[in-house]
Amino acid sequence: MNQPEDLLRRLPNDIGGLPAAPIQRVEHELELEPWEKRCHALADVLDFKQITNNEEKRRGVEALGAEMVAGLIYYERWMAAFANILFDKGVLTHGELARKMAEIETRWQTDAAEGEAAATPLGP
């Protein structure tokens, strides 16, 4: 099978049967960053409010394409998929998301600058 045919038959998450390293089965603590926990909570709320469901999320991640899926970590994929789903459903606009992201970036920069100022010694 050539590559274009393979791309039509195999979605980015469909890796069954492909060569890969052995699965390493080890117990580990799941340590999520705060934004990852918020992302998971958002998924739960969107599902509870019946705005999205797991099938839409799965299809949304697959629709990102193999290159983007490979370049994003797990919850980044979720966020990109949710944004696209909410755009498609008219729940969120590109402008609303851009404004909120700019607001958060400004707040983050302000908090970082205040933290640096507080950490700077005031003299001898």
Question: What is the per-residue pLDDT across 97-109, written as a single tens digit (0 to 9) for each?
Answer: 999 999 999 998 9
59-115 residue pLDDT tens: 999 999 889 998 999 999 999 999 999 999 999 999 999 999 999 999 989 988 887
pTM: 0.70
Mean pLDDT within 44-51:
96
In this structure, the number of other CB atoms found within 10 A of the CB of residue 78 comes to: 19
What does the alpha-carbon distance between residue 30 and residue 2 come to, in Å, rounded to a whole number? 39
